[in-house]
Amino acid sequence: MRKIVYLMLFTMVVFLSCKKDKTVQIHSVTVQLAYPANTSFSVTEGVTVKLAGKGSAFEVKTNAEGKATFFVPTDIYEISASDVRSSAGTAFIYNGLKSNVAITDGWNTTDVIKLDLVESKTSQLVIKEVFIGGTIKDDNSGNFSYDGYIVIYNNSSYVASTTNLCIGAIGPQTTQTTNNFYVNDKLMYEGENWIPLNTGFWYFQQGLTIEPGKQVVVALYNAVNNTLTHSRSINFDNKDYYVTYDIAGQFKNANYYIAPAASIPTSHYLKSMAFGTGNAWTPGVISPGVFLFETKGTTPIAFGADATNLVLSHKKVPTDWVIDGIEGFNLGSTANKKRFLPSIDAGYVYHTNRKEYSIYRNVDEAATKAIAGNEAKLKYGYSLGTVAQETTGGTTDPSGIDAEASIANGARIIYKDTNNSTNDAHLRSKASLRTN
C-alpha cells in the first residue's frame, strides 16, 4: 500500500516538475496574392487579406506588390482574401482561401505564403436567406423544426429566367464531422470543377422567371400557416410561395411533408430527385450548405437518374452549373471544414439551430445607393444581427441598412455578392418571414 502511495506521489512530482511557463512567440508572416494566369487583372495595393486563427484574427491590406505582412502569434490559421474588379460593365470576383496553415515556433519569417485567387462572376439569382434552425414553440416545449425556407432573389437589373433550376445541399451535411472528401487535408474535388451534392435535390417543375428585385420563397417543409399553432413560426399559406413537396417521390416523411396550403398551386410544388436513402431532405440543420444550380445539356430527372456521376454516394455537380451557394459553419465548433470551392463561396457564415436564426445576405450599400431615387427609401439602424447574442461567431450587416424595412418602404436592394459569405452574409436573429 505504502509503495503505491509513493508511486502516486512520485508521479505527481514528475508531472508538476515538467510544467513550465511559456512566453508568446510573435512571427512575421507574409502572404502573396496570386491572380489567375488567364485574367487581365494583376496584383494591386489595398486588397484586404485575413488571417483567422483559433484564438485571434488579423486583417492587413496588400502593398503594391500584392503582399500583406502580418505579425501574429503561434496558431493554426486560415488565410483568405477577396477582391472585386470590373471591366466593361462586368464584375469579376477573386477569392482565395488556404486552411490549416501552421505558424509555429519554427516559422521562417522569410517564407512567403502564396494565396491563389480563383475567378468567379456575380449571379443574377442569389440565395437571399436560408432559414432552417426552427422556431421556439409557444409552450417552450422545444424547437419547431418544420418551418425552414430559402429565399431566391434576383439581384440584377434584368429579368432572370431559368428552365431547370434546382436546389441542392452540399455534402456532407455538417462541417464539423468527418468529411471523407478531404484527402491529405485537401478537398478531392479541388481542381476537378465539381462539388458534391448530398442525398438528393429539388427542381422547379417549369421555368422560373423572377423580376429584378423580386424574390421567390421556397418552403422546405410544412407549407401551411404554422403560426396558428406556433406563433413564432412562419405562415406559408401564400399563393406566391413555392414548396418542396412530392409525395410520389422519396422525400415524404409525414412529419416534414404535410399537405401544403390549398392556396399554393400545385405548379409551385418542386419535384424531388433522390439518390440517397433518407426520407426527408435537409440542407444541414446545424451548418447548412445550400446552393442553386441549373442543369445544362440535360434535365434534372436525367441528371438525377445518371448513376455514373456519383462519388462517395454524392452526385457530382459541375461548378459551372452552380448559380449561388452559401456555406454555413457550426457556430459551436472549432473543427469546421470548408465544403464549397472558393469559386462558389470562399468564406462562411456561422450558424446554429434552435435559436430562430437565419442566414441573411448583406446589403451592397454602394450599389444600392447608386440606384436613382433609392437612397431616400433606405432604412438604417439594422438591429437584427447577432453580434450581441453570440459574442463569438455572431454577425450583422455592416451596411447598417435594414433591407426588409427598406424594401417595405419601396427601396430596391442590391445584396452583396462577392462569392464569399464571410463578407456577403450574416447570422440574423429573426427570420425575415416571421411576423411576430
Contact call for residue 352 and another protein (CB under 8 A): no
How far is it, in rounded angstroms, from Cα 363 to Cα 355? 23
Residue corresponding to grid cell 514528475:
14
Q: Residue 373 CB, nearest distance to another protein (Å)? A: 38
Q: Residue 30 CB, nearest distance to another protein (Å)? A: 34
Choice from 104, 163, 209, 229 touching another protein (CB under 8 A): 229
Q: Which residues of 263-283 are buried (b: 16+ CB within 10 A; e: fewer)?
A: ebeeebbbbbbbbeeeebbbb
Which alpha helices (DSSP H) does 326-408 contain, by range? 365-370, 403-408
Residues forming a β-bridge with 194: 318
Contact call for residue 5 and another protein (CB under 8 A): no
Closest by CA position to 290, among listed 328, 234, 317 = 328
Choice from 38, 90, 110, 141 touching another protein (CB under 8 A): 141
DSSP string, 173-228: S-SSS--TTEETTEETTTTTTEEEEEEEEEE-SS-EEE-TT-EEEEE-S--SBGGG
Contact call for residue 142 and another protein (CB under 8 A): yes
Query: What cell does 176 get?
Result: 464539423
Applying CB under 8 A, the span of 57-65, 269-277, 341-349, 350-358 interacting with another protein comes to 269-277
Q: Residue 69 CB, nearest distance to another protein (Å)? A: 36
Choice from 222, 282, 358, 395 touching another protein (CB under 8 A): 222
Within 13 Å of residue 271, how many CA atoms lie on the same side as its CB?
A: 13
Among positions 243-262, residues that touch another protein (CB under 8 A) are 247-250, 252, 254, 258-262
Nearer to another protein, 274 or 407 (CB): 274
Edge-to-edge, what's the strand order for the sheet holding 118-121? Answer: 57-61, 48-52, 75-87, 90-103, 118-121
Nearer to another protein, 156 or 235 (CB): 235
What's the CA angle centered on 367, arms 366 and 371, to 5 degrees? 110
Choice from 233, 282, 352, 368 touching another protein (CB under 8 A): 233
| Count, residues near another protein per rule CB under 8 A | 56
Burial class (CB in 10 A: 0-12, 13-18, 19+), 67: middle
Choice from 42, 87, 180, 334 touching another protein (CB under 8 A): 180
Contact call for residue 88 and another protein (CB under 8 A): no
Nearer to another protein, 90 or 277 (CB): 277
Contact footprint for another protein (CB under 8 A): 1, 4, 137-142, 144, 146-147, 180, 222, 224-226, 228-230, 233, 237, 247-250, 252, 254, 258-266, 269, 272-275, 277, 279, 301-302, 304-313, 316
